[in-house]
Amino acid sequence: MNLSDFKPGEGTEVPEEEKSVSVRTQTRRVALQALYQWQVNHSETVDIIKQFSEEGRLVDTDVALFQEIVNEVANHAADLDELYAPFLDRAVARIDPVEKNIMRMGVFELQNKLEIPYRVVINESVELAKRFGAEDSHKYINGILDKAAEGLRSLEKTQTD
């Protein structure tokens, strides 16, 4: 399915407090919501992407990035889990779905979006956790992704730390 197959819905006016966030930040927020729906409802990603498009939820997002994050994280969830699992204090299965998908998105970007500095990836993940996660989950996610970055971005991390 191509991006041209998706027809954006009318959408709604973006709330004033949302207008100050970047397109990438908004894309990550909506992608997290889509991944939560995928994990909880076991829906196909193509159906979720189509639904989000038709409902106008992709307004002010980078649709290509949204589609990439949702598809790649869903299709490679187990592999992504393996990248951060060694740093957890419990089994992956015991991690809340929101936090799990934030960490999956984070390690996906650390591994595949080398043009984005690792600190930006971690900060964006922390902000998602503050907004959507449980209280103090942002601290946990920060620590886990920082450790994952040591392996995934070791050269960059040693040059900037």
pLDDT digit string (tens) for 44-67? 999 999 999 999 999 999 999 999
pLDDT at 99: 97
pLDDT at 161: 66
∠ CA 2-35-85, nearest 5°, is 120
Euclidean distance between CA atoms 70 and 53, whole angstroms: 13
CB under 8 Å to 88, separation ≥6 — which residues? 95, 144
Give the residue with greater pLDDT, 158 vs 149: 149
For the chain, what is the mean pLDDT? 90
Which whole number is the average pLDDT over 99-119? 97
pLDDT at 20: 80
Does the pLDDT at position 12 exceed 90? no
User: DSSP state, 153?
Assistant: S
| Contact in structure between 134 and 146 (CB atoms under 8 Å) | no
CB under 8 Å to 121, separation ≥6 — which residues? 106, 109, 110, 113, 145, 149
Euclidean distance between CA atoms 88 and 92, whole angstroms: 8
CATH for the stretch 21-154: 1.10.940.10
Burial letters 11-26, b for 16+ CB under 10 A, else e? eeeeeeeeeeeeebbb
pLDDT at 157: 74
pLDDT at 154: 86
Structure tokens at 12: 């709604």
pLDDT at 156: 82
pLDDT at 13: 45
Can you give the pTM of this predicted structure?
Answer: 0.87
Q: Where are the domains of the chain?
A: 21-154
Rg (CA), the chain: 16
Does the pLDDT at position 42 exceed 90? yes
Residue 121 to residues 45, 56, 101, 115, Cα–Cα distance (Å): 23, 26, 14, 10
pLDDT at 1: 44
